[in-house]
Amino acid sequence: MNFWQPKIETMKRSDLEDLQLRRLKETVKRAYDRVPFYHQRMKDLGVTPSDVASLADVRILPETRKGDLRENYPFGLFAVPREEVVRVHASSGTTGKPTVVGYTARDIETWSDMVARDLVMVGCTKEDVFQNAVNYGFFTGGLGIHYGIERMGAMAVPSGTGSTRRQIEIMIDFGVTALHCTPSYALYLAETVTDMGLADDLSLRVGCFGAEPWSDRARTELEEMLNIKAYDSYGLSEMFGPGVAFECQEQNGLHIWEDHFLVEILDPDGLPCAPGERGELVLTSLTKEAMPLIRYHTGDVTFMMAEECPCGRTSVKLHRFLGRADDMLVVRGINVFPSQIEDVLLKIPEIGDYFQVVVDRKRHGLDEISIKVEMSDRAFTGELADLARLQKKVEDELKSVMKIRSKIELVEKGSLPRTEGKSKKIVDLRDL
């Protein structure tokens, strides 16, 4: 079996919970003593660090949301003096100020070990040549994975993003065996290498893909096209970055590293969900020094999987992410989730992997959804009657699920924009 920190990864639940409680108390005290924001929030709630006596007491603690990071821009939530912060990352977000996160030297160590755990868990060794094809900047995916690769001893190939053909050349010339990038970029790489007729020249065996949701169908395609096993990787800048939760070789749920995070899944009323019940993932960091966060609402929807994992790791598993709590579009008063649209599209074999939803408000004031959908190669007969039939089929199936009609525009494979980072599946043109 492949373990990086076997003692922690296979720790008895009761020992793990003792460790969590000790670390929770330390974190709460650190936040209370050193971060004015948390001091005030706890004072408002009438709680002090000594009120935390069990893990369940997390529920008496204040909650944190992305807006709190923005309001304390840039360094207001740091719990250490400036000279102890050795790195910052930032996420641009779609509106307003970016959110900034900071790390002490020990935070970087903790994070590197966490990523090393993930990579070893999926079977990587020092023998691997590991290409990291994501942006190396403020985005945590670049340096975060890079440090993990170096930590576990594989050879890091920091290709970053851009010039896809060159990336493929490097992959072949260097004998790259493991790849990390976003799933949308992986699909584009796979398409390009297939078009170049070079798929058989690759030596890839492992793919780690994350930073955005991706479907099981995309997994199957990537595994077939690149001849790899593909693993889901979850993380967020506020909790170090990538590496927070990762699939093991079972490919059935993501182990979340509970020695570093206390996990809650909450329903819309803020009540805890039982295993199997979907809700929002809320995390409390247990080891972060520079910027501890208490009950941080990730906005990501998942559920806890109760069963033990055959891989021997004892940390709880999260189901692959089902979308974002705040991703819901309200169109003509009806709630529409992009993941619902995706579910419908993925079941139609004539449809390819790319779609883009455009919501617009027309002059007469009604919202309209139009969806550009790429066809798969095999569906494109060029016959107009076939196209019209397919268009109607997609429209009807979407209508039955979403309850409102959408306009489908079938487009040729390759015509929607490909991306090197996170893809943008929703374009909302309404001025709301």
- Residue 49 or 279: which CB sits closer to ligand DLL? 279
What does the CA dihedral 283, 251, 115, 241 come to, rounded to 10 degrees?
-40
Choose one: 147-155, 270-278, 295-303, 355-363; the region binding ligand DLL (CB under 6 A).
295-303
How near is the Cβ of 180 to ligand DLL at its closest, in Å? Answer: 7
According to the binding rule CB under 6 A, does residue 302 interact with ligand DLL? no
**Residue 209, phi then psi, degrees to nearest 5:** -125, 135
How near is the Cβ of 232 to ligand DLL at its closest, in Å? Answer: 5
Is 50 buried (19+), middle (13-18) or exposed (0-12) by CB count in 10 A? exposed
- Angle (CA) 396-302-373 rounded to 5° is 30
According to the binding rule CB under 6 A, does residue 211 interact with ligand DLL? yes
- Residue 113 or 367: which CB sits closer to ligand DLL? 113
Choose one: 46-54, 114-122, 296-304, 330-338; the region binding ligand DLL (CB under 6 A).
296-304
User: How far are the Cα atoms of 33, 118, 122 from residue 64, in angstroms, in the given order?
Assistant: 17, 27, 32
With H, G, I as helix, E, B as strand and everything else as coil, classify residue 155.
strand
According to the binding rule CB under 6 A, does residue 242 interact with ligand DLL? yes
According to the binding rule CB under 6 A, does residue 148 interact with ligand DLL? no
Q: Considering only residues 362 through 401, tell me which ones interact with ligand DLL, judged by CB under 6 A.
A: none
Q: In three state form, how does the secondary structure of 110-125 look?
A: HHHHHHHHHHHHCCCC
Name which position in 2, 5, 10, 91 contacts ligand DLL (CB under 6 A).
Answer: 91
**Residue 211, phi then psi, degrees to nearest 5:** 85, -5
According to the binding rule CB under 6 A, does residue 253 interact with ligand DLL? no
Q: Do the Cβ atoms of 189 and 213 come closer than 8 Å?
A: no
Rounded distance between C-alpha atoms, residue 388 and residue 397, angstroms = 14
How near is the Cβ of 237 to ligand DLL at its closest, in Å? Answer: 3
DSSP tag of 2:
-
How near is the Cβ of 141 to ligand DLL at its closest, in Å? Answer: 3
Q: Do the Cβ atoms of 140 and 235 come closer than 8 Å?
A: yes
**Sign for the pseudo-dihedral over CA of 301, 307, 311, 315:** positive
Choose one: 148-156, 229-237, 259-267, 413-421; the region binding ligand DLL (CB under 6 A).
229-237
According to the binding rule CB under 6 A, does residue 111 interact with ligand DLL? no
With H, G, I as helix, E, B as strand and everything else as coil, classify residue 201.
helix
**What track of x and - describes contact with ligand DLL for positions 305 through 344 (by CB under 6 A)?**
----------------x--x--------------------
How near is the Cβ of 319 to ligand DLL at its closest, in Å? Answer: 11
Q: Tell me the residue type at 413.
A: K
According to the binding rule CB under 6 A, does residue 49 interact with ligand DLL? no
According to the binding rule CB under 6 A, does residue 102 interact with ligand DLL? no
How near is the Cβ of 254 to ligand DLL at its closest, in Å? Answer: 7
H or E element: which one contains 231?
A: strand 229-235
- Residue 10 or 91: which CB sits closer to ligand DLL? 91
According to the binding rule CB under 6 A, does residue 248 interact with ligand DLL? no
Choose one: 204-212, 283-291, 383-391, 405-413; the region binding ligand DLL (CB under 6 A).
204-212
Q: Do the Cβ atoms of 62 and 41 come closer than 8 Å?
A: yes
Show the tokens assigned to 214.
């991706």
According to the binding rule CB under 6 A, does residue 235 interact with ligand DLL? yes
Show the tokens assigned to 238.
């506020």
Name which position in 9, 107, 232, 259 contacts ligand DLL (CB under 6 A).
Answer: 232
Q: Do the Cβ atoms of 239 and 102 come closer than 8 Å?
A: no
Name which position in 234, 261, 303, 354 contacts ligand DLL (CB under 6 A).
Answer: 234
Name which position in 62, 213, 253, 279 contacts ligand DLL (CB under 6 A).
Answer: 213
According to the binding rule CB under 6 A, does residue 420 interact with ligand DLL? no
Comparing CA positions, the residue from 2, 15, 85, 54 lying closest to residue 315 is 15
- Residue 49 or 144: which CB sits closer to ligand DLL? 144
DSSP lists the bridge partners of residue 130 as 156, 178
| Residues at the contact surface with ligand DLL, assessed by CB under 6 A | 91, 140-141, 210-213, 232-237, 241-242, 298-300, 321, 324
